């Protein structure tokens, strides 16, 4: 499966958001991870009949398409929100009332 973002990069985006309500890129990242898991699962599924093969291939193909679309979406969202793309750092302005403990 081709990917724009590595697992570590996706986790890094999720790490910076934590809370669901203020983490739109994180929600997208979470679904991308989910699609990767779904794709990997289909690859490992048992193929006992021709139907099995067709089912698993169809799911894997569509997972790839959805994955590519969501990665594009994530990239666009990060640009819109002005994340630092090389480091994938969340801009301070998006942090919700930060408080240093």
Output the smallest distance, CB 78 to another protein, in A: 15
Residues that bind another protein (CB under 8 A): 7-8, 10-12, 14-21, 23, 26-27, 30, 33-34, 36-37, 95-101
* Residue among 57 and 95 whose Cβ is closer to another protein: 95
* Residue among 22 and 54 whose Cβ is closer to another protein: 22
* Residue among 49 and 101 whose Cβ is closer to another protein: 101
Instruction: Give SS3 for 23.
Output: coil
Tokens 């193929």, residue? Answer: 47
Output the smallest distance, CB 48 to another protein, in A: 27
Tokens 């739109």, residue? Answer: 24
* Residue among 16 and 75 whose Cβ is closer to another protein: 16
* Cβ atoms of 56 and 63 closer than 8 Å: no
Output the smallest distance, CB 13 to another protein, in A: 9
Backbone angles phi, psi at 70, to 5 degrees: -70, -35
Helix axis angle for 7-17 and 24-44, nearest 10°, is: 140
Output the smallest distance, CB 9 to another protein, in A: 9
Distance CA 71, CA 31 (A): 10
């Amino acid at each position: 499966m081709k990917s724009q973002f590595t697992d570590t990069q996706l986790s890094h985006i999720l790490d910076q958001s934590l809370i669901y309500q203020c983490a739109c890129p994180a929600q997208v990242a979470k679904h991308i991870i989910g699609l990767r898991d779904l794709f990997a699962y289909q690859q490992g599924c048992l193929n006992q009949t021709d139907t099995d093969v067709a089912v698993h291939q169809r799911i894997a193909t569509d997972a790839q398409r959805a994955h590519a679309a969501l990665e594009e979406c994530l990239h666009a969202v990060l640009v819109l929100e002005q994340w630092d793309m090389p480091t994938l750092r969340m801009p301070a302005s998006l942090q919700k009332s930060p408080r240093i403990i």
